[in-house]
Structure 1
Amino acid sequence: MRYARRARGVRAGPCIAGHPVPEHWEALLGDLAREIVRRLGAKDVEDAARQIFHYPTLLYRLCDPPVVVEGRYGVEWARLCAAGEAPMGAGVRFPEVQVDARIPLDIYLGPCALWSLRSKAVAANWRKNAPDLYPAYSRWDGRYPHAYFRDVFPAVAFEAADQLGLVGLANARCGRRGRRCTAVAAWVYWIRNRRMPQIDLQLGRLLSFDLV
């Protein structure tokens, strides 16, 4: 089978792998959605999205041979194949509000980081930027990320979201570094909704925005 080497009409980066909503894949990935279906031998976009959501390494089928993605997200897709890394940050901008709260968690990587390949560099990034989640990450077998992290993510994050709302949690200060808890809020949203907040925000479909 001959695979496409170039994809147009792509309006999302690799983080859509954690967002198994087929109509969003079709709306945002353009040619790339169809190419992923072909490379996985999937029945349709829904099947492909489900496979990649449960088995993150399947995303790298796009790298053999690599697909050149045109447009603003091309760099993210190129890095996926060149370095084995999906975007590691929170990936979403929440409105800024004043919140007098501190959450005892140092987690500054977002859930999209789960679609990076397991490497020494990626592990070092987890140790440095998500030390309170790294022990759980180091025990994860690389499959079913949502089911696994739903059960091990610190309960204090969900308690804070229920008390402060999602935006309040994002603007609280985290752990010893005192940075905004944007990544923690992204994890809470993803675990509760099985959707990436940056994708829903881009489409104007953010669910339960205040989580109260």
Structure 2
Amino acid sequence: MLKPKTDPCIFLHGEPEDWRLLLGEDFVNELIRRLKHVAGDLDQVVRYILDNPGVAGVAVRGLVFGGPFREEWRLLAEGGYVDPGARARWPYVPNEEQLGLRIQISPCFLLASLSREVNYVWRNRASSLFKWVSAVPRSKPLEVFREAFPAWLREVAQSRGYAWVAWTRWRDRRNRALAEWLYWLDTGRMPHIDAALGRMYETALRTKKPAAEVLYVPS
């Protein structure tokens, strides 16, 4: 039984040493074994899944999971599904601005196997993405979305901070998921995983705080 210390979003987190730390040697070695036809070591496995997130469910199919994240891993292993909701918790920034963008899905949802139901969730909860792409990219999504996201939006995140974006609104909802996208596009890492590892990050107020205190939402 495997007991990873994080959820399946690690597959979109492009830091091999974080995989080794949070997944453990047994899990890492099993992934290398299962993907040996396309990847020869952990660095190549990380790159392959990051470039082809739809294979994640196949890569873990049949594995048995325990620990605090077992349900998330079971959903992926048995049904090729991940929850579309945002994971990161951002420090509060007083903000009632409307960005006029509907992106209420975490980039982690790229790991879900495409189906009619999954496509409906994408179109219904992240309709603004389809102003910039015609379909959910199944190959190299990080590169595709880095090119597709409008420059003004990425500049807002870099100038005002991800937390500021997270506390803006789309109608009556906060833009937590949008902030995750912008962080991922800038760093190639998932913010809640960085937070779980205690990494520092810069808030909208340009002050430094331990990320684990303010970003991580346990499952």
TM-aligned CA deviation for residue 206 of structure 1: 4.6
Q: Corresponding residue for 1:179?
A: 173
Q: Corresponding residue for 1:53?
A: 50
Unmatched 5+ stretches in structure 2:
207-219
Are 1:168 and 2:164 matched, yes or no?
Answer: yes
Are 1:7 and 2:2 matched, yes or no?
Answer: yes
Task: Select the residue among 36, 40, 45 that pairs with 2:35.
Answer: 40
8 Å contact kept, 1:173–1:181: yes
Inter-CA distance 193–119: structure 2 relative to 1 (3 Å threshold): same
One-letter code of the match for 1:47? Q
1:129-169 per-residue CA deviation (whole Å, 9 max, x = no partner) reads: 11111455552441001001111124442233134211111
Are 1:62 and 2:47 matched, yes or no?
Answer: no
One-letter code of the match for 1:194? G
SS at match of 1:108: coil
One-letter code of the match for 1:60? G
Unmatched 5+ stretches in structure 1:
1-5
8 Å contact kept, 2:58–2:80: no
Are 1:124 and 2:115 matched, yes or no?
Answer: no
Percentage identity across aligned positions?
Answer: 35
1:148-193 per-residue CA deviation (whole Å, 9 max, x = no partner) reads: 111112444223313421111111112xx23111111100000011
Counterparts of residues 27-176 of structure 1 (less than 5 Å): 27-30=21-24, 31-41=26-36, 42-64=39-61, 66-134=62-130, 136=132, 138-174=134-170
How far apart in 1 are the matches of 2:6 and 2:167? 25
SS at match of 2:75: helix
1:87-131 per-residue CA deviation (whole Å, 9 max, x = no partner) reads: 311211111221142211011001111111111111111111111
How far apart in 2 are the matches of 1:58 and 1:79? 14
8 Å contact kept, 1:14–1:87: no
1:58-80 per-residue CA deviation (whole Å, 9 max, x = no partner) reads: 2123344x111110111001111
Quick check: 127-136 or 13-22, which moved more? 127-136
SS at match of 1:102: coil
Say how many residue pairs are matched. 203
8 Å contact kept, 2:161–2:202: no
How far apart in 1 are the matches of 2:145 and 2:167? 22
Are 1:198 and 2:192 matched, yes or no?
Answer: yes
8 Å contact kept, 2:16–2:46: yes
Q: TM-score scaled by structure 1?
A: 0.87
Q: TM-score scaled by structure 2?
A: 0.85
